[in-house]
Structure 1
Amino acid sequence: MQPQSVRERAGDLPTEPGVYQFLDGETTLYVGKAVDVRSRVRSYADPRSARIARMVREADAIDVAVTDTETQALLLEANLIKRHQPRYNVRLKDDKSYPMVQLTDHDVPRIEITRDPDESATVFGPYTKKTRVETVVKALRETYGIRGCSDHKYSGRDRPCLDFEMGLCTAPCTGEISVDAYSEDVDPVRRFLEGETGILADPLESGMQEAAAAKDFERAANLRDRLAAVERFHGEGGEAVQAYDDANTVDVLGVAIEGEEATVARLRSEGGKLVDRDRFTLAAPYGADEGVPTVIAAFVVQHYAERDLPDALLLPERHDDEEVAAWLDAEGVAVRVPGAGREAKLIDLALKNARRNVGGRDECGMLADALEIDAARRIEGFDVSHAQGKSAVGSDVTFVGGSAEKADYRRKKLDDENDDYANMRRLITWRAARAVEGRDDRPDPDLLLIDGGKGQLEAAREALEAEGWDVPAVGLAKSEERVITPDREHAWPSDAPHLHLLQRVRDEAHRFAVQYHQTIRDDVRTVLDDVPGIGPETRKRLLGRFGSVENVREATLDDLTSVDGVGQKTAETVKSRL
């Protein structure tokens, strides 16, 4: 759009609070908020930065939504940025939800870790360390026998599952424990999750002492580690934060910008104790030429739009956004930029956390540059595994910021076929269809990595094109460690960090696929399993002697009895059953 076009469009806009979007066709380039939409949009006729000037030139339309209040405009802007991810906004990336623990609303409740709790469930959390949550939930199940199975697995059972044998469940599904007795066991679990640590810590400590007395030191060490996780579960101390009388919760922010990405580190204090630390990545187009204040304003709105605000917010610099300032003031949040003292030390600590995260993203940026794509922060790796076409499976692993995101791993059973290209095509078709139809709850990746050479990559690209999923894909084969793209092969140095990143993704996809294949292969059954008198060893000898069930079926009685462990009666039973 030309400056005159912007002025003309602005003249038709209201002078009320609202949100505006600069569009290029159906693509949202930029989202902004304003107390006076007409005045703010008119200002884009004379852009304040080269980044904004470029955005205006690319836009061909401006869309506007009016709101009743400034706060509504602020929150609508945050939601639109998260939904459309406009390239010219500073935007929070991969804003993951934290794991929670829920006790479902059943007569026989189950306990589970989830990021999307049921509306009717009793929910505890969120928690920041999933591994600690997993340790504690397993300890609760071992101590109180609470079920963790789905409703589908729970219903219609005639015998307890493996969890009962392992001591993880008291098996109310088959009446091994009454509903009333089970409810009595659920009560201490609920009390622990509400904060009564001793409910679980005491039996763990007793078990640890008993194991040590019995010289079962391995179990004692295991219980010691669980006890430590339990005792830290409801909050652990760290550096003390000066808590003022009017500030029960304090969030401390540190910001670091490198290239077109920024990191915000957040420290949280409750009751004078540092109880949480986390980091967030934001896309800061063109280095966010307005600097740290722009990143702070964008983060505060997008992060807290769906979360409780703290009582106080400590910042390394003022954000200079009048709408954000008015919103925080209306919500009663005290905003401070400390220059000295304990609070300034906390700002320094937050800055160190932010800068450390920035340094860890180099290989992702280098990979994106080398492949000439927009980003490579979120990568999904794919591989297939089978045994001469049998027990075929596919893996889909996810790496974010160079690290495995195991909660986003997926796996898929495939049709048995001894064709790696066809198997890869099926696997990518499955993933692409789920993405296009909105059935996959994960964000779209920046890059797909195919374990294999040119043939596997071509099969994957055919699937992507057929499903209409526009995501870059490359291949990496083990033979020469060459990165294969649709139009060329890259022979990067063996010590290149971005090559190491792809190798980690490829190797993890391969490991995950092989692991699943082995599980499926070991579970394979044949009709021989249902023949009385045929156990696993005899079945193995029969299949080893004749090669297949079909050949066993065609064998004579004399042939069958020639196999060790197969007598005349068993041979006759095999013949009649097959």
Structure 2
Amino acid sequence: MARRAPPVPEFDGRAFAAALPLAPGVYRMFDAAGGLLYVGKARALRNRVGSYFNAAPKPARIMAMLAQVARIETTVTHSEADALLLENQLIKSLQPRYNVMLRDDKSYPFVLLTREEWPRLAFHRGPRAVPGRYFGPYPSAASVRETLDLMHKLFRLRSCEDSVFHNRSRPCLQYQIGRCSAPCVGRVEAAEYADAVHRAGLFLEGKGQQLGEELAAAMQAASAALEFEQAARLRDLIATIRKLQARHTMDGRDADLDVLGVAMQGGAACVLLLAFRGGRNLGTRAFFPKTNGEDSAGEVLAAFVSQYYAEQPPPAEIVLDGDIPERALIEQALSEHAGRKVALRTSVRGERAAHLALVRRNAQLALATELASSGAQQARVEALRELLGLPEPPARIECFDISHTLGEATVASCVVFDAQGPVRKQYRRYNIAGIAPGDDYAAMHQALQRRFRPAVEGTPDAVLPDVLLIDGGAGQVAQAREVLTDAGITGVVLVGVAKGPERKPGAETLLLPDGREVQPGAASPALQLVQQVRDEAHRFAITGHRGKRQKARSSSRLEDIPGIGPRRRAALLKHFGGLQGLKAAPVDEIAKVEGVNRALAQRLWDALHGLAQAAPGEGDQ
């Protein structure tokens, strides 16, 4: 007779809380399976954790969470501010089920001023791996490009990559239209360029008054030295900057602040951010945090402020749509994190009040648009469920596509969609190797084998799709079916997406698992969803293929030619201004480069034009 497992003892929250210290810290609630339910901070751990288990009424969301709590872990910190920072780090890294979480899979855009002999001013997104100064973050890529456009006109700093900069032999178009001072070919002195870099930094930091004073002093010095052309340029620059400041200054002075508004509807939330730096309006950006059942706008806004500014440098002033819990604590933590005073304001007048009203309206509009889009997405998912005869709407859809150019640089893409849309963090690319060029069947087979290998090997966190879309006809679908069969994987609905006549959108044929071939038509919501996923897989594959191809072509082919070492390669590229110039040069011109004889020049020309395989020995020196 089988023995019955003993029941899991019920968690005694009151007894656990009574043993906790009256110290600040962070607590983590777990369910019986070890899943993380919630991360919270506390001024006094005993009081805060104990408040969950007293007799006071609690929201339904909290009651549902407490019913699952099997254990609690705590970490004592030095201060409340430290607890707030630790809480934000844990929420981001562990993603608890019941916390409000800021969802944004995009990195924030910055303006980068590199740190090198001739600094470059450029758009930057992603890890701050390039040495230099980063200004931002900006609400959108458009605001960064607008700022860069202005900066290049004002200060004429270079924007080109180092590979272009070090191989120029004459000024480019940017110099001709007055947006660069052409340091690549010595058209500007190092001291003058350094002054422009310094002034650009002041401008981006919002130090308009200091910049104006320095420019005025430089104009007077140039005038006294009878350098009237330079004085006139500085005069025009001062006038332009003052005009910009007059247009963008708030309340008669420079402003460095963010304005935040929140809108909530049907369990969804939108936080809209309007940013000003140095008095300049940088535009707005909408965020849609995951509320996990939280229905308090103040709680959502507090979570956003804590999480967003834990990673991004906060401005001196943050104007909020309404009061938030523990505002003084968050203000203190942000000030300590920034190393300067950060003020959170909820009661404002004048121009700030007008901006706050604008942010509120735009938050409501952005949320309404998001909900409408979400509703349409859910309708398409439901239509696909009906078309495929599934008992439940598919929670995970994956699509595979192959991209190459005449068999070169073959790349397979896998994109993932859930009920809300694309899940970009889970996209994958597969570099295909070891197949005949142009063999799409073999490429698809290899990519799918690699995709489902974790499931075959029994990896615990291996995830399978509910629906697997294959961009292609019966041949590609057969490859996918073979991979799934060999792997012993069942329960995955396999659908082929064959292009219609003349590749006309809306005329696609779907190859269903039961052998039927259907053409739902352009008006079908199910086909619209399939098209959306297929087009995203195609875009992702094309992007990866082009990057791989460009990398292969931009890596100097000279490296593969015997007799062309680092010194000769550098001499050739410098003489012709790059690989394209070298490829366009005749043999006799190549032979004029120091260290290159006629035989080596001919072999080099043949290799660059694909006419002969370079043979070692001849012409080596």
Length-normalised TM-score, structure 2:
0.58
Other-structure match for 1:53: 63
Q: How does 1:128-277 map to 2 (within 5 A)?
A: 128-131=139-142, 133-134=144-145, 140=152, 147-149=160-162, 160=167, 177=185, 185=193, 188-189=196-197, 191-195=199-203, 248-269=255-276, 274-277=281-284
Residue number in structure 2 paired with 1:360: 369
Identity of aligned residues (%): 34
**2:100 maps to amino acid:** V
Amino acid at match of 2:35: T
- CA distance in 2 between partners of 1:399 and 1:169 (Å): 46
2:203 match: secondary structure: coil
Q: CA deviation at 1:306?
A: 2.9
Deviation at 1:266, TM superposition (A): 1.6
- 2:86 is aligned to 76
1:300 to 299, 305, 308: 305
Change (3 A) 1:11 1:85: same
How far apart are residue 383 of structure 1 and its match? 2.5
Q: Deviation of residue 131 (structure 1)?
A: 4.4
Quote the residue 2:401 is aligned against: 383
8 Å CA contact 2:493–2:513 kept in 1: the answer is no
Q: Secondary structure of the equivalent of 1:423?
A: helix
Name the SS of the counterpart of 2:102 in structure 1.
strand
Cα separation, partners in 2 of 1:185 and 1:268, compared to 1, 3 Å: closer
Q: Which amino acid is 1:37 matched to? A: L
Shift, 1:34, TM fit: 1.0
What is the distance in 2 between the residues matched to 1:407 and 1:134?
25
The answer (yes or no) to whether the contact 2:102–2:289 under 8 Å persists in 1 is: yes
8 Å Cα contact 1:144-1:186 kept in structure 2: no
What is the Cα deviation at residue 385 of structure 1? Answer: 2.2
Whether the aligned pair in 2 keeps the contact of 1:383 and 1:450 (CA below 8 Å) is yes
The answer (yes or no) to whether the contact 2:444–2:479 under 8 Å persists in 1 is no
Which of these residues, 381, 396, 410, is aligned with residue 392 of structure 1? 410
SS at match of 1:78: helix
User: Does 2:40 align with 1:37?
Assistant: no
Helix, strand or coil for the counterpart of 1:20?
A: strand
Instruction: Please report how far the alpha carbon of residue 349 of structure 1 lies from its aligned counterpart in structure 2 after TM superposition.
Output: 1.4
Letter in 1 for 2:66: V
After superposition, give the CA deviation of every residue in 1:157-183 in whole Å (9 maximum; x if it has no partner): 9xx37x97965799xxxx984799577
Q: By how many angstroms is 1:101 displaced?
A: 3.4
Quote the residue 1:88 is aligned against: 98
Counterpart for residue 327 of structure 1 = 330
CA distance in 1, matches of 2:364, 2:172: 45
Deviation track 1:348-370 (CA, whole Å, cap 9, x = no partner) reads 31122212222333434554664
RMSD: 5.9
Q: Which amino acid aligns with 2:23?
A: E
Deviation string for 1:332-363 (max 9, x for gaps)?
A: 65555459865544333112221222233343
1:510 aligns with: 538
After TM superposition, give the deviation of residue 147 of structure 1 in Å. Answer: 4.4
Tell me, what secondary structure is at the counterpart of 2:41?
Answer: strand
TM-aligned CA deviation for residue 80 of structure 1 = 1.0
User: How far off is 1:486 after superposition?
Assistant: 9.2
Partner of residue 124, structure 2? 114
Cα deviation for residue 405 of structure 1 reads: 12
Instruction: Report the equivalent of 2:356.
Output: 347
Give CA deviations for 1:397-451 in whole Å, capped at 9, x if unaligned. 89999999999999765335444354245557889999xxxxxxxxxx9999764
2:322 equivalent in structure 1:
317
Inter-partner Cα distance in structure 1 for 2:203 and 2:282: 15
Distance, in Å, in 2 between the alignment partners of 1:407 and 1:515 is 16
Displacement of 1:64? 0.9
Structure 2 Cα separation of the partners of residues 121 and 45 of structure 1: 51
Identify if the C-alpha distance between structure 1 residues 294 and 360 changes in structure 2 by more than 3 Å, giving closer, same or farther.
Answer: same
Q: CA deviation at 1:516?
A: 7.1
Task: Describe the shift of the 1:165–1:273 C-alpha distance in structure 2 as closer, same or farther (beyond 3 A).
Answer: closer
Unmatched runs of 5 consecutive residues or more in structure 2: 1-7, 177-182, 213-236, 336-340, 386-391, 455-464, 501-506, 562-610, 616-621
Distance 2:479 2:521 in 1: 25
- CA positional deviation for 1:73: 0.9
The alpha-carbon distance between structure 1 residues 76 and 113, as it changes in their structure 2 partners (threshold 3 A), is same
- Deviation of 1:28 (Å): 1.7
Q: CA deviation at 1:282?
A: 0.2
Residues 164-213 of structure 1, C-alpha deviation per residue, up to 9 Å, x if partnerless? 7965799xxxx9847995776465355335429999xxxxxxxxxxxxxx
1-side partners of 2:524 and 2:108: how far apart? 33
Judge conservation of contact 1:235–1:275 (CA < 8 Å) in 2. no
Closer, same or farther in 2 for the Cα pair 1:493/1:459, shift >3 Å? Answer: same
Distance 1:165 1:380, change over 3 A: farther
- 8 Å contact kept, 1:92–1:299: yes
2-structure distance, mates of 1:400, 1:180: 54
Query: Taking structure 1 as reference, are residues 352 and 450 closer, same or farther at Cα in structure 2, changes over 3 Å only?
Result: farther
Q: Which amino acid aligns with 1:355?
A: Q
Answer yes or no: is the 8 Å Cα contact 1:363–1:497 preserved in 2: no
**Residue 285 (structure 1) aligns with:** 292
The DSSP-based 3-state class of the residue aligned with 2:51 is helix
Contact in 2 for aligned 1:108/1:183 (Cα 8 Å): no
Q: Does the Cα contact within 8 Å between 2:270 and 2:366 map onto a contact in 1?
A: yes
Alpha-carbon distance between aligned partners in 2 of 1:248 and 1:387, rounded to the nearest angstrom: 52
CA distance in structure 2 between the partners assigned to 1:231 and 1:408 by the alignment: 45
Structure 1 residue identity aligned to 2:45: V
Q: Secondary structure at the match of 2:273?
A: strand
| Cα distance change, pair 315–6 in 1 and its aligned pair in 2 (3 A) | same
Alignment CA distance shift 1:316-1:144 (3 Å): closer
Give the secondary structure class of the aligned counterpart of 2:288: strand
CA contact (8 A) 2:95 2:101 kept: yes
Instruction: Supply the distance in 2 between the matched residues of 1:318 and 1:273 (Cα, whole angstroms).
Output: 26
Task: Please give the TM-score of this superposition, normalised by the length of structure 1.
Answer: 0.61
Q: Which secondary structure state, in structure 2, belongs to the residue aligned with residue 48 of structure 1?
A: coil
Indicate if the aligned counterparts of 2:137 and 2:312 stay in contact, CA closer than 8 A: no
In 2, the alpha carbon distance for the partners of 1:460 and 1:253 equals: 51
How far apart are the structure 2 equivalents of 1:131 and 1:406? 21
CA contact (8 A) 1:95 1:280 kept: no
| Secondary structure in 1 matching 2:311 | coil
Question: Is the 1:92–1:283 contact (alpha carbons within 8 Å) kept by the matching residues of 2?
Answer: yes
